[in-house]
Amino acid sequence: MKLCIAEKPSVARDIAEILGAKQRKEGYYEGNDYQVTWTFGHFCTLKEPHDYYDQWKYWRLEDLPMIPASFGIKLIDNPGVQKQFKVIAQLVEQCDEVINCGDAGQEGELIQRWVLLKAQNTKPVKRLWISSLTEQAIKEGFNALKDGALYNNLYAAGSARAIGDWLLGMNATRLFTKKFGTGKIILSIGRVQTPTLAMIVARQKEINAFVQEEYWELKTIYRETEFTAAIDRLKSADKANKGLAYLKEHPFEITSFERKEGREGNPRLFDLTALQVEANKKFGYSADDTLKLIQNLYEKKLVTYPRVDTTYLSEDLHPKIAGILQDLTPYSALTAPLLAHPIPKLKSVFDDKKVTDHHAIIPTGMYPQGLPLEEKRVYDLVARRFIAAFYPECKVSNTTVLGKVGQVPFKATGKQIITPGWREVYANDVPDKKEGEEEEKTLPIFVVGESGPHIPKVHQGKTTPPKPFTEATLLRAMETAGKQVEDEEMRELLKDNGIGRPSTRANIIETLFRRKYIEKRKKNIYATQTGIELIDTIQNELLKSAELTGNWERKLRLIEKGEYAMETFKQELIAMVMELTREVKNNAYKVITLTPETPPEVEKEPKPKKEPKPAISIDALYCPKCKVHLLKKGHAAYGCANFQVCGFKLPFEMMGKKLSEKQVTDLLTKSKTAKIKGLQVPGHGAETEGRIVMTKDFNFEIG
């Protein structure tokens, strides 16, 4: 018997259907010599400090640093997780071979390996490695299963990351909280979180320290074209007026006219960060929102695996591109010109050297129907970017005109689109204007030496402060370890040294918001006083440096490639934590008295914060009546999988209200919902407010 372990019940259901394992059992499917079971996210976590030593339960400076002799894992404290894990452990013991069908990435590998480690698996392991959840992709994946050992380095990198975050997070958070915190404050420190906050604080300080200055520029209009003086901005109105008087005494003369044809390269395919940046710029979506939306589209089989950091496709995908474009029927007006000719094998799109485990995010070709607006928008971004990548380049004409008035040089530039090329895909979009970029305008033909009257003027302006981060610009700064980079090629080179991973950056930003270290005003992100004071308290540059943290990320990627030892990385972090502890204990900085975070609460001997419990999938819950069989979703209700015998069912709609997934989960796990307005009691005309309660005989009433 072969045992497949998926990461979600829905994925397990799809795999079971394709493999012919159609018999539903308690916590798994069976049939055709396969058993298919599932986790629902993280089942295991690294042990907490008190799991190693009782005295580590309390937050005391004298116990730091906490360095376990070896790291262990434990099951998450959740009844649903523990029940499903028992099923997995029994199946692991009975099977002949395990097929790891977890999410095909570092986090997915870690989740599955920890479950197998906890289940004490000794059976051979194969790996299903796929980039989409379509039926074709799953079938192809099972026909080309990999040896699980091929992903040992990926697992090692995931373990090193988790251990590194534990070592620094657990120790530094307790260290700074006990040394500098007062009252109930928790000063949270993290390997990626803290340098990200430091970048925002640094920008905030630049903005706060900015002193606005007035300036004056000389301009003139010659032949209906505005020219700007190519000299330093003037610092006084007096100098500007003297300059204006000088200009009025001399004619305008053309000294150079140059028109060059250029090309605007096609936009790159999306990696996760680029998609999050675009969705933030166009729709104001947070990085976390975009990650959830693209993950939903992936699970609906509409796009390929999203947690990627490459903008390239593998070369073996080239023959499939025409078929995907053909299937994008809502975009047929845009794909028709491409399909009229063979699809070019562009080096800017296909490059095996730039692709490791996964390729860029692209549509699968499946037709999207009935999508919510937010998902439709994100799908449209992916689909149009995919189409635009294969269009011709955009041809432009760039014009530069130089002139002079007496001894004062002037300049004007213009750009004209000759052939729109890939811009046709975005014909209805308002183009983004980058800072310093010229507007698209056509300049007349000028002849060198021509001269004539002009209309000079003075433009008065004010200097502007540095721009605060938005989620889009913050994601880019994290990707490039704080370096301001516009060039796509350079950005690709810097990705190995970015801080965080594409899949974790959204969560880091959300954590900073949740801890009230940063706040959002419209689209802009600002450091709060809490965040500023925390960064000011940290004297150790290593904790705050995006560049040095990016170096850790590079080492984690080298571990993934088998080019760096996990144990070396761990020992480096241990040495750093020990040095940091010694330094902070022996130095006196100012104590921080701030508004306490919510919800963490520090007691006299505070306990460490526990990880939030994962959301429970209704598919993973057992029938509350018989407590033997899992629940099954029907057309109008959830019911016991053994309904004919047990008879339990929970309708989707009750007392005139369609129940949300949260309300259904509350009924199943707590036997009651929160208060609901507008409930209708049979036989009574008026609506009422109350809780829906599941009675002891498994009926439902208003309580």
Residue type, 698: F
Q: What count of other Cβ atoms lies within 10 Å of the Cβ of residue 553?
A: 21
What tokens were used for 102? 């977890």
- Angle between helix 152-180 and helix 566-585 axes, rounded to 10 deg: 0
Q: Distance between CA atoms of 407 and 470, rounded to whole angstroms?
A: 43
Q: How far is CA 543 from CA 58, 194, 483, 549, 581, in A?
A: 24, 6, 18, 8, 12
599-607, long-range: CB < 8 A, 24+ apart? 600/184, 600/186, 601/184, 602/59, 602/177, 602/181, 602/183, 602/184, 602/185, 602/186, 605/57, 605/58, 605/59, 605/60, 606/58, 606/59, 607/50, 607/57, 607/58
Give the residue among 539, 672, 516, 663 at the shortest CA–CA distance from 594. 516
Q: What does residue 523 show for φ and ψ, rounded to 5 degrees?
A: -95, -10
The distance of Cα 194 from the centroid of its chain, to the nearest Å, equals 18
For the question of residue 312 being annotated catalytic, the response is no
Which amino acid, one-letter code, is at 579? E
Distance CA(703)–CA(688), nearest Å, equals: 11
Give dist(CA 559, CA 568) in Å, integer.
10
Cβ-based burial of 600 (10 A; exposed 0-12, middle 13-18, buried ≥19):
middle
Pick from 304, 488, 267: nearest CA to 388: 267
Token digits of residue 144: 């080309």
664 secondary structure, DSSP code? H
Tokens 């002079």 -> residue = 404
Q: Nearest CA to 631 among 698, 692, 701, 690?
A: 698
Helix locations, 538-585, DSSP H: 541-544, 546-560, 566-585
- Which of 151, 285, 298, 305 is the catalytic position? 305
Chain Cα centroid distance, residue 466: 25
Structure tokens at 654: 């009750």
DSSP, collapsed to helix, strand or coil, labels residue 137 as helix
- Distance, CA of 483 to CA of 491 (rounded, Å): 9
Q: Which residues pair with 99 in a beta bridge?
A: 4, 126
Q: Structure tokens of 217?
A: 């520029």
Q: Where are the beta strands (DSSP E) in 572-675?
A: 631-633, 637-640, 649-651, 653-654, 657-658
Q: How far is CA 453 from CA 62, 230, 247, 248, 252, in A?
A: 82, 19, 10, 9, 6
Distance CA 71, CA 324 (A): 46
Angle between helices 471-479 and 272-283 (to 10 degrees): 160
C-alpha 467/C-alpha 474 separation (Å) is: 11
Residue whose structure tokens are 């432009």 = 396
With b meaning 16 or more CB within 10 Å and e meaning fewer, what string describes 260-276? eeeeeebbbbbbbbbbb
Q: Is 690 within 8 Å of 702 (Cβ atoms)?
A: yes
> Which residues are designated catalytic?
305
